[in-house]
Amino acid sequence: MIRRFASDLSVFTLGSFLAVVSQGVGSGAVQWWLFAVGVLTIAAGAYGAYDTARGGAHRSVDALTGVLGVWAIVASFAWSGSTLLDLALWTGIAYAIVGAAGLVIHELRTERVVHALEVSAPAAHREETLVR
């Protein structure tokens, strides 16, 4: 369960970071940040996909993370200038959306398990309330 949360949170954080960096530095630096984030998110997606207990929705998030990682690596060397800055911004936003979707899916699955548990009073306490 921690592996799912860690991979989704890292994708969200890296995407948010990329979106901010793309607006704050020049295109030369953004090129390398986009490349690095692409490599790191491919690793995060592979790390999350390594967990065999993930459901279909989480597998889709991992696959989309991998596709975005490949896109980021290709885009970092295929474009330059203001086009690269715009692509880095939108790629960062896409990463943040995918990471947030993964976190929501994780939370919904965790909450479903927690709500499925039944809380009951100890047997001694139940007998006391019946006697009174």
Span 23-48, pLDDT tens digits: 999 989 999 999 999 999 998 888 77
Q: Report the predicted TM-score, pTM, of the whole model to 2 decimal places.
A: 0.79
Burial state string for 20-48 with b = 16 or more CB within 10 A and e = fewer than 16? ebbeeeebeebbebbbebbebbbebbebb
